[in-house]
Amino acid sequence: MDLSHLLKPAAVRVLGYATSKKRLFQDLAEVAQIVYGLNATETVDALQERESLGPTGVGHGVALPHARLHGLDRVVGVFIRLEKPLDFDAVDRQPVDLVFALLAPKDSGVEHLKALALVSRTLRDAATCKKLRANSDPAALHAVLTEARSTQAA
């Protein structure tokens, strides 16, 4: 599995800020609707339902919200870099500015977990995060994300 299979270039965005976690989920859902044809309301609801089980802010300014949805045939991703970090109830209590949402089919099983592990490994790399924070161009961000794992050992 490779990030380029999960993340279309059009699903990478830079936002000035989000006023709340719910607003960020709405932004993620709008991108998912435009790029992948998903129902935005169902996407927001699924992300909020998963978040209610425990925050998906994994620390160091990174959040990995994820949800399972009907109407998908494969795992897909949406990446947003926030110019102004958002309080996300992250495990280290730090605000997040790098958000990679994974959306998976309801019955995806192990594929969803593999994708989550791949994104987690990629965004745990300090050099990758530094490059992401240094760029405001969505095409450059997509390149950083999709090239990161191909240069790291599995």
Whether the Cβ atoms of residue 40 and residue 32 lie closer than 8 Å to each other: yes
Compute the mean pLDDT over every residue in the chain, rounded to the nearest whole number: 92
Is the pLDDT reported for residue 154 higher than 50?
A: no
> Using the 8-state DSSP alphabet, how is residue 79 labeled?
E
Confidence of residue 148 (pLDDT cuts 50, 70, 90): low
Average pLDDT over residues 16-44: 95
Residue 97, phi then psi, degrees to nearest 5:
-130, -10
Q: State the pTM of this model.
A: 0.93
| Domain housing 72 | 3-151
pLDDT of 98-143, one tens digit each?
999 999 999 888 888 999 999 999 999 999 999 999 999 999 999 9
Confidence of residue 152 (pLDDT cuts 50, 70, 90): very low
CATH number at residue 140: 3.40.930.10
Q: Identify whether 66 is a catalytic site residue.
A: yes
Please state the domain count of the chain. Answer: 1
In this structure, the strands spanning 57-59 and 62-63 are antiparallel
Whether the CA torsion 16, 21, 23, 25 is positive or negative: it is positive
Q: Of 5, 66, 112, 142, which residue is the catalytic one?
A: 66
pLDDT of 39-56, one tens digit each?
999 999 999 999 999 989
- State residue 149's pLDDT score: 52
